[in-house]
Amino acid sequence: MIIPEPVRALSPLSDYTDHYTLSTGVRATPEQWARAMFGDVPNAAERLIWSGCLRLRLSREPSPETVAGWRIAEQGPDWIRMEAASWFLTANIVVRAVEGQVAAATYLRYERRLGKVVWTLLSPVHRALVPRILRMGVAARQRVDGGRAAGYA
């Protein structure tokens, strides 16, 4: 998967990287997109994958400093980077909203060999879920704003 350089530059992690985009007529800030996609606290499925399988340490309480339990590490006018870590990997999710598109990128650094083993097993599920999460985020923003979604890019 080719990651555009402006997206690549938004995280220092590089052992695994992916990037998905969805064209949309809905306008929202990157943080609004992130909350539309993931919510304020992890749901049961997210907790199972993120905390159960990946052992990521996530906040369980809603907070302006977190999205779905992930700490907001940094943000710019058209992007937000969230981070979480376990003893065997560090993860970033970057949500970017630019030029009629919303995008989600995942970045990992394996802290231990187990990180690569676990991610190799989970990555097919991840790659199947991310496009769905983007569509769900657009649908959630449509309900709030009355906007329209287009298609994948």
pLDDT of the residue at 55: 97
- Here the tokens at position 141 are 């923003």
Q: For residue range 85-105, what is the model confidence (pLDDT) as tens digits?
A: 999 999 999 999 998 899 999
- Here the tokens at position 21 are 């985009």
pLDDT band at 143 (very low <50, low <70, confident <90, very high): confident
| Residue with the two structure tokens 């970045």 | 107
Check pLDDT > 80 for residue 61. Answer: yes
pTM for the whole structure: 0.90
Whole-number Å distance between alpha carbons of 69 and 64: 10
Is there a contact between 151 and 23 (Cβ–Cβ < 8 Å)?
A: yes
Domain boundaries, the chain: 13-144
Check: CATH 3.10.180 for 13-144? no
Q: Phi, psi (5° rounding) for residue 94?
A: -115, 125
Helix (H) or strand (E) holding 100: none
Q: Check residue 50 and report its DSSP letter.
A: I
pLDDT of the residue at 14: 93
Across the range 5-17, mean pLDDT stands at 92
| Residue with the two structure tokens 């496009």 | 131
